[in-house]
Amino acid sequence: MRDDGALMAETGGSDRTGPVIEASGLGLTFQTADGPVRALTGVDLAIGRGEFVSFIGPSGCGKTTFLRCVAALEEPTEGRLSVNGMSADAARRARAYGYVFQAAGLYPWRTIAGNVQLPLEIMGYPKAERAERVRKVLELVELSGFGNKFPWQLSGGMQQRASIARALAFDADILLMDEPFGALDEIVRDRLNEELLKLWNRTGKTILFVTHSIPEAVYLSTRIVVMSPRPGRITDVIESPLPRERPLEIRDSREFLEIAHRVREGLRAGHAYEV
Protein backbone atom coordinates (compact mmCIF):
# COMPACT_ATOMS: atom_id res chain seq x y z
CA MET A 1 0.00 0.00 0.00
CA ARG A 2 2.92 2.32 -0.67
CA ASP A 3 1.56 4.44 -3.49
CA ASP A 4 -1.91 4.83 -2.04
CA GLY A 5 -1.39 8.36 -0.82
CA ALA A 6 -0.30 9.66 -4.18
CA LEU A 7 -2.99 7.74 -6.02
CA MET A 8 -5.75 8.89 -3.71
CA ALA A 9 -4.74 12.50 -4.16
CA GLU A 10 -4.87 11.96 -7.89
CA THR A 11 -8.31 10.35 -7.86
CA GLY A 12 -9.80 13.13 -5.82
CA GLY A 13 -9.09 12.04 -2.27
CA SER A 14 -10.97 9.57 -0.12
CA ASP A 15 -11.58 12.01 2.73
CA ARG A 16 -13.78 14.26 0.62
CA THR A 17 -17.28 14.55 1.99
CA GLY A 18 -20.35 15.00 -0.15
CA PRO A 19 -21.50 12.86 -3.03
CA VAL A 20 -19.03 10.80 -5.06
CA ILE A 21 -21.28 10.89 -8.07
CA GLU A 22 -23.70 13.70 -8.70
CA ALA A 23 -26.02 14.00 -11.69
CA SER A 24 -28.49 16.80 -12.28
CA GLY A 25 -30.81 17.07 -15.25
CA LEU A 26 -28.66 14.49 -17.00
CA GLY A 27 -29.83 13.42 -20.45
CA LEU A 28 -28.43 11.66 -23.49
CA THR A 29 -29.96 11.65 -26.94
CA PHE A 30 -28.48 9.35 -29.58
CA GLN A 31 -28.69 10.51 -33.19
CA THR A 32 -29.65 7.48 -35.24
CA ALA A 33 -30.71 6.93 -38.84
CA ASP A 34 -34.32 6.75 -37.64
CA GLY A 35 -34.07 10.10 -35.90
CA PRO A 36 -33.03 11.02 -32.36
CA VAL A 37 -33.46 8.45 -29.57
CA ARG A 38 -33.70 9.76 -26.02
CA ALA A 39 -31.80 7.13 -24.08
CA LEU A 40 -31.76 9.09 -20.84
CA THR A 41 -33.57 12.16 -19.63
CA GLY A 42 -33.83 14.32 -16.49
CA VAL A 43 -31.72 12.13 -14.23
CA ASP A 44 -31.11 13.71 -10.81
CA LEU A 45 -29.11 11.51 -8.48
CA ALA A 46 -26.46 11.89 -5.80
CA ILE A 47 -24.49 8.87 -4.62
CA GLY A 48 -22.47 9.06 -1.42
CA ARG A 49 -19.22 7.36 -0.55
CA GLY A 50 -19.52 3.67 0.30
CA GLU A 51 -23.06 3.29 -1.04
CA PHE A 52 -24.18 0.24 -3.00
CA VAL A 53 -26.68 1.50 -5.56
CA SER A 54 -28.52 -0.81 -7.94
CA PHE A 55 -30.12 0.32 -11.18
CA ILE A 56 -33.04 -1.82 -12.27
CA GLY A 57 -35.43 -1.60 -15.17
CA PRO A 58 -36.40 -3.22 -18.45
CA SER A 59 -34.04 -3.07 -21.40
CA GLY A 60 -33.90 0.35 -23.02
CA CYS A 61 -34.46 2.19 -19.71
CA GLY A 62 -31.01 3.75 -19.84
CA LYS A 63 -29.47 1.99 -16.83
CA THR A 64 -26.41 0.86 -18.77
CA THR A 65 -26.29 4.22 -20.55
CA PHE A 66 -26.16 6.00 -17.19
CA LEU A 67 -23.31 3.75 -16.05
CA ARG A 68 -21.45 4.39 -19.30
CA CYS A 69 -21.92 8.16 -18.78
CA VAL A 70 -20.38 7.88 -15.31
CA ALA A 71 -17.50 5.93 -16.90
CA ALA A 72 -17.17 8.60 -19.64
CA LEU A 73 -17.70 5.92 -22.27
CA GLU A 74 -20.68 7.99 -23.44
CA GLU A 75 -20.99 11.75 -23.46
CA PRO A 76 -24.23 13.18 -22.00
CA THR A 77 -26.00 15.72 -24.20
CA GLU A 78 -27.81 17.54 -21.36
CA GLY A 79 -27.31 18.32 -17.70
CA ARG A 80 -24.33 18.02 -15.43
CA LEU A 81 -22.44 15.03 -14.08
CA SER A 82 -19.56 15.02 -11.64
CA VAL A 83 -17.52 12.05 -10.48
CA ASN A 84 -15.21 12.50 -7.49
CA GLY A 85 -15.77 16.23 -7.80
CA MET A 86 -14.54 16.44 -11.40
CA SER A 87 -15.96 15.82 -14.83
CA ALA A 88 -16.59 12.19 -15.77
CA ASP A 89 -13.85 12.27 -18.39
CA ALA A 90 -11.33 13.77 -15.97
CA ALA A 91 -12.28 11.02 -13.51
CA ARG A 92 -11.73 8.41 -16.20
CA ARG A 93 -8.33 9.85 -16.99
CA ALA A 94 -7.54 9.85 -13.27
CA ARG A 95 -8.56 6.15 -13.24
CA ALA A 96 -11.19 6.77 -10.60
CA TYR A 97 -13.24 3.64 -11.23
CA GLY A 98 -13.07 -0.02 -12.14
CA TYR A 99 -15.61 -1.26 -14.66
CA VAL A 100 -16.98 -4.79 -14.79
CA PHE A 101 -18.73 -5.63 -18.05
CA GLN A 102 -21.55 -8.05 -18.75
CA ALA A 103 -19.06 -10.47 -20.31
CA ALA A 104 -15.83 -11.22 -18.46
CA GLY A 105 -13.88 -10.18 -21.58
CA LEU A 106 -10.64 -11.77 -20.40
CA TYR A 107 -7.85 -11.87 -22.95
CA PRO A 108 -7.54 -15.50 -24.06
CA TRP A 109 -3.79 -15.14 -24.56
CA ARG A 110 -3.15 -14.04 -21.00
CA THR A 111 -3.29 -16.17 -17.88
CA ILE A 112 -5.71 -15.18 -15.12
CA ALA A 113 -2.86 -13.42 -13.30
CA GLY A 114 -1.84 -11.79 -16.59
CA ASN A 115 -5.38 -10.53 -17.13
CA VAL A 116 -5.66 -9.12 -13.62
CA GLN A 117 -2.28 -7.50 -14.11
CA LEU A 118 -3.32 -5.79 -17.37
CA PRO A 119 -4.53 -2.49 -15.85
CA LEU A 120 -1.45 -2.39 -13.60
CA GLU A 121 0.84 -2.73 -16.62
CA ILE A 122 -0.99 0.03 -18.45
CA MET A 123 -0.92 2.29 -15.41
CA GLY A 124 2.81 1.69 -14.98
CA TYR A 125 2.95 -0.04 -11.59
CA PRO A 126 6.41 -1.47 -10.79
CA LYS A 127 6.80 -5.19 -11.38
CA ALA A 128 7.09 -6.33 -7.77
CA GLU A 129 4.02 -4.36 -6.74
CA ARG A 130 2.03 -5.80 -9.66
CA ALA A 131 2.68 -9.35 -8.47
CA GLU A 132 1.75 -8.43 -4.90
CA ARG A 133 -1.50 -6.75 -5.93
CA VAL A 134 -2.48 -9.62 -8.22
CA ARG A 135 -1.93 -12.06 -5.37
CA LYS A 136 -4.04 -9.93 -3.04
CA VAL A 137 -7.05 -9.42 -5.33
CA LEU A 138 -7.08 -13.03 -6.50
CA GLU A 139 -7.29 -13.98 -2.83
CA LEU A 140 -10.11 -11.46 -2.40
CA VAL A 141 -12.22 -13.10 -5.13
CA GLU A 142 -11.17 -16.59 -3.98
CA LEU A 143 -9.15 -17.44 -7.05
CA SER A 144 -5.80 -18.02 -5.36
CA GLY A 145 -4.03 -20.85 -7.13
CA PHE A 146 -5.70 -20.15 -10.47
CA GLY A 147 -3.29 -17.38 -11.48
CA ASN A 148 -1.45 -19.55 -13.99
CA LYS A 149 -4.56 -20.95 -15.66
CA PHE A 150 -5.81 -19.61 -18.96
CA PRO A 151 -9.38 -18.22 -19.08
CA TRP A 152 -10.78 -21.16 -21.06
CA GLN A 153 -9.71 -23.49 -18.26
CA LEU A 154 -12.12 -21.71 -15.85
CA SER A 155 -15.91 -21.81 -15.53
CA GLY A 156 -18.03 -18.79 -16.46
CA GLY A 157 -18.47 -17.81 -12.80
CA MET A 158 -14.76 -18.00 -12.14
CA GLN A 159 -14.04 -15.93 -15.25
CA GLN A 160 -16.43 -13.24 -14.03
CA ARG A 161 -14.74 -13.30 -10.61
CA ALA A 162 -11.40 -12.81 -12.37
CA SER A 163 -12.84 -9.82 -14.22
CA ILE A 164 -13.96 -8.35 -10.86
CA ALA A 165 -10.43 -8.92 -9.53
CA ARG A 166 -9.14 -7.07 -12.57
CA ALA A 167 -11.35 -4.08 -11.72
CA LEU A 168 -10.18 -4.17 -8.09
CA ALA A 169 -6.47 -4.51 -8.85
CA PHE A 170 -5.84 -0.77 -8.92
CA ASP A 171 -6.98 1.63 -6.24
CA ALA A 172 -10.13 3.02 -7.74
CA ASP A 173 -12.71 3.58 -4.99
CA ILE A 174 -15.67 3.36 -7.38
CA LEU A 175 -16.78 0.07 -8.89
CA LEU A 176 -19.15 0.19 -11.87
CA MET A 177 -20.80 -3.15 -12.63
CA ASP A 178 -22.97 -3.66 -15.71
CA GLU A 179 -25.06 -6.82 -15.26
CA PRO A 180 -21.93 -8.72 -14.24
CA PHE A 181 -23.81 -11.88 -13.31
CA GLY A 182 -26.49 -11.68 -16.02
CA ALA A 183 -25.13 -14.62 -17.99
CA LEU A 184 -24.65 -16.94 -15.00
CA ASP A 185 -27.02 -19.52 -13.57
CA GLU A 186 -29.04 -18.86 -10.40
CA ILE A 187 -26.85 -20.92 -8.05
CA VAL A 188 -23.55 -19.38 -9.12
CA ARG A 189 -25.22 -15.99 -9.07
CA ASP A 190 -26.36 -16.36 -5.45
CA ARG A 191 -22.86 -17.30 -4.40
CA LEU A 192 -21.27 -14.40 -6.26
CA ASN A 193 -23.84 -11.98 -4.82
CA GLU A 194 -22.91 -13.11 -1.33
CA GLU A 195 -19.20 -12.74 -2.12
CA LEU A 196 -19.73 -9.32 -3.64
CA LEU A 197 -21.42 -8.09 -0.46
CA LYS A 198 -18.52 -9.36 1.64
CA LEU A 199 -16.11 -7.68 -0.71
CA TRP A 200 -18.00 -4.41 -0.49
CA ASN A 201 -17.96 -4.61 3.32
CA ARG A 202 -14.24 -5.26 3.36
CA THR A 203 -13.18 -2.63 0.82
CA GLY A 204 -15.71 0.13 1.47
CA LYS A 205 -15.92 0.93 -2.24
CA THR A 206 -18.79 2.82 -3.80
CA ILE A 207 -20.59 0.37 -6.08
CA LEU A 208 -23.00 1.12 -8.93
CA PHE A 209 -24.65 -2.09 -10.04
CA VAL A 210 -26.89 -2.56 -13.09
CA THR A 211 -29.24 -5.54 -13.05
CA HIS A 212 -32.62 -6.69 -14.24
CA SER A 213 -33.15 -9.10 -11.37
CA ILE A 214 -35.35 -7.76 -8.55
CA PRO A 215 -34.06 -10.16 -5.83
CA GLU A 216 -30.47 -9.37 -6.78
CA ALA A 217 -31.09 -5.62 -6.57
CA VAL A 218 -32.86 -5.85 -3.21
CA TYR A 219 -30.36 -8.27 -1.73
CA LEU A 220 -27.29 -6.21 -2.63
CA SER A 221 -28.23 -2.55 -2.39
CA THR A 222 -28.41 0.22 0.11
CA ARG A 223 -30.45 2.06 -2.51
CA ILE A 224 -32.38 0.86 -5.52
CA VAL A 225 -32.95 3.13 -8.50
CA VAL A 226 -35.95 2.00 -10.54
CA MET A 227 -35.91 3.12 -14.17
CA SER A 228 -38.31 2.99 -17.08
CA PRO A 229 -37.88 3.24 -20.84
CA ARG A 230 -38.89 5.56 -23.69
CA PRO A 231 -37.48 7.92 -22.67
CA GLY A 232 -35.08 6.36 -20.16
CA ARG A 233 -35.68 7.98 -16.77
CA ILE A 234 -35.76 7.37 -13.01
CA THR A 235 -39.22 6.53 -11.67
CA ASP A 236 -38.42 5.62 -8.07
CA VAL A 237 -35.50 5.60 -5.65
CA ILE A 238 -35.88 3.17 -2.76
CA GLU A 239 -33.79 3.32 0.42
CA SER A 240 -33.21 -0.15 1.78
CA PRO A 241 -33.77 -0.64 5.52
CA LEU A 242 -31.87 -3.94 5.45
CA PRO A 243 -28.73 -4.16 7.62
CA ARG A 244 -25.29 -4.24 6.02
CA GLU A 245 -24.76 -7.84 7.11
CA ARG A 246 -27.05 -9.88 4.91
CA PRO A 247 -27.18 -13.67 4.95
CA LEU A 248 -28.91 -15.24 1.92
CA GLU A 249 -31.86 -16.17 4.21
CA ILE A 250 -32.69 -12.48 4.53
CA ARG A 251 -34.47 -12.88 1.21
CA ASP A 252 -37.32 -14.64 3.01
CA SER A 253 -37.78 -11.83 5.54
CA ARG A 254 -40.81 -9.52 5.49
CA GLU A 255 -38.72 -6.35 4.90
CA PHE A 256 -37.05 -7.93 1.94
CA LEU A 257 -40.34 -8.96 0.37
CA GLU A 258 -41.80 -5.50 0.99
CA ILE A 259 -38.95 -3.78 -0.82
CA ALA A 260 -39.13 -6.31 -3.64
CA HIS A 261 -42.85 -5.59 -3.90
CA ARG A 262 -42.23 -1.86 -4.11
CA VAL A 263 -39.60 -2.35 -6.83
CA ARG A 264 -42.02 -4.51 -8.79
CA GLU A 265 -44.75 -1.88 -8.41
CA GLY A 266 -42.33 0.78 -9.62
CA LEU A 267 -41.39 -1.26 -12.66
CA ARG A 268 -45.06 -1.91 -13.43
CA ALA A 269 -45.96 1.78 -13.11
CA GLY A 270 -43.21 2.69 -15.53
CA HIS A 271 -44.65 0.25 -18.01
CA ALA A 272 -48.36 1.09 -17.49
CA TYR A 273 -48.78 3.40 -20.44
CA GLU A 274 -47.56 0.74 -22.83
CA VAL A 275 -50.10 -1.97 -21.96
* Residues in touch with another protein (CB under 8 A): 71, 73, 92-93, 95, 97-99, 101-103, 105, 107-111, 118-119, 121-123, 150, 152
Nearer to another protein, 40 or 214 (CB): 40
CA proximity to 207, closest of 70, 82, 108, 105: 70
Residue 118 C-beta: closest distance to another protein, Å = 7
Residue 3 C-beta: closest distance to another protein, Å = 16
Nearer to another protein, 82 or 240 (CB): 82
Nearer to another protein, 18 or 105 (CB): 105
Residue 111 CA from chain centroid, whole number: 24
How far is Cα 137 from Cα 152, in angstroms, rounded to an integer? Answer: 20
Residue 59 C-beta: closest distance to another protein, Å = 17
Nearer to another protein, 168 or 234 (CB): 168
Q: Which long-range contacts (CB under 8 A, 24 or more apart) does 183-187 make?
A: 183/102, 183/103, 183/156, 184/156, 184/157, 184/160
Residue 103 C-beta: closest distance to another protein, Å = 6
Classify burial at 80, counting beta carbons within 10 Å of its beta carbon; exposed 0-12, middle 13-18, buried 19 or more.
Answer: exposed
Nearer to another protein, 10 or 142 (CB): 10
Residue 270 C-beta: closest distance to another protein, Å = 28
How far is Cα 248 from Cα 246, in angstroms, rounded to an integer? Answer: 6
* Contact present, 106 and 114 (Cβ < 8 Å): no
